[in-house]
A = this chain, B = another copy of it.
Amino acid sequence: MAEPGFIDLNLVASTVNGSGSQSANLVLTRAVFAMGIPVAPKNLFPSNIEGLPTWFYLRATSKGYRAGRRRADLLVALDRPTFQADLAKLEPGGVLVYEEAFGPPQLEEGLPIHLYPVPFGKLAKASVPDPDLRKYLTNLIYVGVVAEILGVPDAALEAALTQQFRSKPKAIAANREAIALGRDYFRTNLTKTDLLTLNPLDRTSGQLLLDGNQTAALGAIMGGCTVLAWYPITPSSSLAEHVIALADRYRIDPETGERRIATIQAEDELAAAGMVLGAGWAGARAMTTTSGPGISLMAEFVGLGYYAEIPGVFVDIQRVGPSTGLPTRTMQGDISFAYTLSHGDTRHPVLLPGTVRECYEFLEQAFDLAEQLQTPVFVLSDLDLGMNLWMTEPLPYPDQDFDRGKVLHKEELDRMVRFERYRDVDGDGVPWRTVPGTEHPLAAYFTRGSGHDEAARYTESEETYTRVMDRLARKLETGRDRLPAPIVDEQANGLGILAYGSSHHAVVEARDILAAGGLATDYLRLRALPVASSVADFVAGHSRVYVVEQNRDGQMQQILQVELGAQLAARLVSIRHYDGLPLFAADLVEAIRQQEFAAEGAPRTHVAAGVTG
């Protein structure tokens, strides 16, 4: 631990889901956070409701890194079935807190591990009569033990408890006692042999701990979403449920009781997509939230939205595919599928938030973009961003009013002799539209997914078809540089890294490690598709650019190969992580070092499967 105040501690708690461990994990997280120490919690839970193993990763760093770390300095083992296997997660020299009843762990010879057996079950039994409550509080006992080991003060725990149980303060007492139980047990029965400790810092003041689905929901509300049509699917459900909760608080007219948003649980994702298009066509700001399987089911409707030019916001909280895949693991696997979703020639704007703040901002902007470009707009987040808590600066209040795009009302129509729905009058590929209900004889037009001309009349004419398709391509060009621009950190190093979405956080840390190792890198974080024109400049400015992403096939790598053209494509090196865990900096560093020190001859565009943790 070099400089004073340096902290990089990684705790892993192995419990079973549905046992209330989540709440204990949160209390610990908030307590460390309350000590002014930056935290990065990650929850690895099973696709099931109760009784299966679940792992909680809590990383605390003075540098404020948001990525996780693979190995644990402190492992809390409360789940018998995984007890032995979990030991592999321990760093040598690490600390093991475990249920005494499991018996001593089988550790490989001479592995220097600090063992703290604790009779969690017994302790709980002795003090908590009700079995359900007991199961729950057992987890709090571990918080007490850990607090004692790491030196987390009661004040911090108290702050955490108040925040946690804001809505039901009555529960605080019981939780407090359970924590004390753990602390006391350690004090009286065990002696600290390890050196792990957390000293307070001042690096969290003004920061919030939020998950990306929560901030995205607020973004949707602030973006003026008035129709939410969704179908439950992990990991997107909580986004919709947050929108509904916010709507119940902020969208109900106190006088009339009217609700200024429609929130419909559709019968499936096809229907949800159709409702979004119907609502967008009628002028509402509509969105749907889903994950991979839902995107597949929305394919036909999204093609209709593209060709008939109907605004709509499609949020995909990505999980591991293909098919049902691993519903509770994270991946960036729908990038290329969403980008050109539906049969025929199509292409859609895709926003790629990389932080919980951007989950908020991009959702808010997505509605403007959808109406400006009159087309379905995708927002691709993922389980890691959406369902884990992240430390973030406060969210900004929007500084601009809505931009509803090119909509003609009665007043404008009064001044016109002719209205043609699909005529490119401004040369930017974006036509003007009217909405049903406009009281004017020029307003009406016929919306269809079949061939149509500028006046929205049915046609099978080859010239007209081609003209319309060329305009649609132009329209996306108009969009290209209106989308969130890449964020570039460039000091004219020869080596570049290009990443997007939640991979960002591992890149930040990896760059520090690489730089410390003498390998300085520049960095471009892509925030939308189609790729901004500036990306070509970045790639042109570097002899080699690592394209970092979380999927097997290097989907963004492929998109870049096409959009940047062959010359620049030759400089791209694909790094792929696809095991369902968030990307770890160490894996990324290793992959880049492997490459950099690989035989010059090796074809750089054929990195084998890449990083797989």
Instruction: Write the residues of chain A forming the contact surface with B, with a CB cutoff of 8 angstroms.
Output: 46-47, 292-293, 295-297, 299-300, 303-304, 306-308, 320-329, 331, 333-334, 336-338, 340, 342-347, 448-451, 460, 462-463, 465-466, 469-470, 473, 551-553, 555, 558, 561-562, 565-567, 569-570, 572, 578-581, 603, 605-606, 609, 612-613
Contacts and interface: CB of A to CB of B under 8 A. Distances in A.
Give the residue among A296, A297, A322, A470 with the most B Cβ atoms within 10 A.
A322
Contacts of A463: 579
Contact of A462 (B344, B465, B473, B613): B613
A553 B473 CA distance: 9
Nearest to A52: B460
Contact of A469 (B295, B300, B552): B552
Contacts of A336: 340
Contacts of A304: 322-324
Given A333-B343, A345-B551, A562-B562, A47 B450 contact: yes
B450 A323 contact: yes
Nearest to A464: B579
Contacts of A580: 460, 462, 465
A326 B460 contact: yes
A344 B333 contact: yes
A188 B603 CA distance: 77
Contacts of A295: 343
A40 B299 CA distance: 36
A337 B342 contact: yes
Contacts of A466: 578-579, 609, 612-613
Give the residue among A323, A473, A570 with the most B Cβ atoms within 10 A.
A323
Q: In the A-B complex, list the 9 residue pairs whose CB atoms are closest, starting with the nearest.
A: A321-B344, A323-B449, A292-B343, A462-B579, A322-B344, A566-B570, A296-B299, A566-B569, A296-B300
A561 B569 CA distance: 9
Given A296-B299, A296-B303, A579-B463, A337 B326 contact: no
Contact of A565 (B347, B605, B613): B605
A606 B565 contact: yes
A345 B323 contact: no
Contacts of A579: 462-463, 465-466
A345 B322 contact: yes
Contact of A299 (B47, B299, B306, B448): B299
27 contacts: A293-B303, A296-B303, A297-B299, A297-B300, A299-B299, A306-B323, A320-B465, A321-B343, A323-B344, A323-B449, A324-B448, A325-B449, A326-B451, A329-B465, A331-B344, A333-B343, A337-B344, A338-B343, A345-B553, A460-B580, A465-B580, A469-B552, A470-B612, A561-B561, A565-B606, A566-B570, A567-B570
